Amino acid sequence: MEGTDVAIADPIAALDDHDDRPLVKDLIEENREHIDKLKAEIAEDLHYNPTKHDDLWLLRFLLSHKKKLTPSVKAARTTLAFRHEHRLDAEDLRDYPMDWTTVKCPPGSIILEDVKAFMRNVAENSITYGIPDPRRGVVGYLCLGGVDQNLLVEHLDEKAWLGAMCFLSEWTHQWLDYITRTTGRLTKTVRLLDTEFYKISNFSREGSRRDGVVCQLE
C-alpha cells in the first residue's frame, strides 16, 4: 500500500495506558501454522496474489473465525471473488474526503456516485467517519434519527445501496490496514450508534433487509 516502507513495521510504543492493541508480528508468529494451512488452501484460487494477500491478510480471516480452517477458507475465497467483482483493489480510497456529497468523482470510479446518492438522502452529518489520530483506528458515527430508510428505498435501487455501503466499508478497511502496517499494531474501528432522535416511522422492512445483505458481505 502506498505510504508503507515495509509490509509490516516494527511496533510503535503504546500511545497511552489504554493502548493494548496486539503486535502484528507476534500474532503472525503465534499463528504461523494456521496461516500456512490457510495459504495452502487458497493458493490455487484464480484471484489469489501472494504479494498482495500476505500473512496479515490471511491472519484477519483466522482471527475472525476463531482459527477454524474451513470457515476461514470459505471467507477468504468469498472475499477474493467479491473484491475482484467490485474492483476493490483498483483504487486507493484513503484520500477521499468524508464530505461525500460534494467530492468530484474521478473518471472510472465505480461506487463513489452511489455514495453521493446515498448521502443526499440522509440528514447532514448523520453518517460520519473520521480518523482523529493517524496512529489509531477509524471512528464511525451513525445517527439513526437522520436516516429514513423509507426515503432511501424510494430513491435508491439495491445496487446503489450496496455500492455506498461497500465504499464506506472499503475506505475504513484501507485505512485500518495502513495504520496496522505502519504502527505494527492490529488496529480496529470504533462505531458509535446514536438512537436519541430515532423514529419508528423511519423504519423500513425492505431497508432493513438491504442492510442485512450488506452486513453479511462485510
Give the number of other CB atoms < 10 A from CB of residue 6.
9
Give, in order, the Cα–Cα distances in Å from 103 to each of 43, 175, 209.
39, 19, 29
Q: Given the C-alpha cell 503465534, which residue does it identify?
A: 30
Q: What is the pTM of this model?
A: 0.88
Taking the domains of the chain in order of start, what are their residue ranges?
31-85, 112-217
Phi, psi values for residue 120, rounded to 5°: -70, -15
Give residues with Cβ within 8 angstroms of 157, minimum separation 6: none
What tens-digit pLDDT sequence spans the chain (218 residues)? Answer: 677 778 999 999 999 999 999 999 999 999 999 999 999 999 999 999 998 999 999 999 999 999 999 999 999 999 999 889 888 888 888 877 665 555 555 555 556 778 888 888 889 889 888 899 999 999 999 999 999 999 999 998 888 888 888 888 888 999 999 999 999 999 999 999 999 888 899 889 998 998 888 776 65
Q: Is 79 helix (H, G, I), strand (E, B) or coil?
A: helix
**If one looks up domain 112-217 in CATH, what number appears?**
3.40.525.10
